[in-house]
Structure 1
C-alpha cells in the first residue's frame, strides 16, 4: 500500500509542480513540492518496513 501511495504522490507532485511553474502559481508549485516530499517519506517508510520484515524472519 505504501508503495502505491509513494508512486501516486511522486507522480502527482511532479505534475502539480510543473503545472505550477508554467502557470506562475507559487501555491501549486509548493503543493507539488509537498506531495513529492510526502511521496519520498512514504517510499522510505516502505523500504524500512521491508527491511524490518526481512530481519524478523526466522532463519532456516
Structure 2
C-alpha cells in the first residue's frame, strides 16, 4: 500500500471536498505536483492548506 498512498491521499482530498460541497479547480499537472510534493515531504501542512485555498472555485466563496 505504500506506493498507493499518494493516490489515496489525493483521492481522499477530492472526496472530502465533494462531500462538503467544495469544488476545486486544478490542472492534472498541479494535482500530480501536489501528490508528489506531499510524498517527498517537500510540502508542509500550511503549503497544502494554501494549495487548497488557491484552488477553491470562486463560486464556492
Category of TM-score, reference length = shorter chain: 0.3 to 0.5
Q: More helix per residue: 1 or 2?
A: 1
TM-score relative to the length of structure 2: 0.34
TM-score normalised according to structure 1 size: 0.35
Higher radius of gyration, 1 or 2: 1
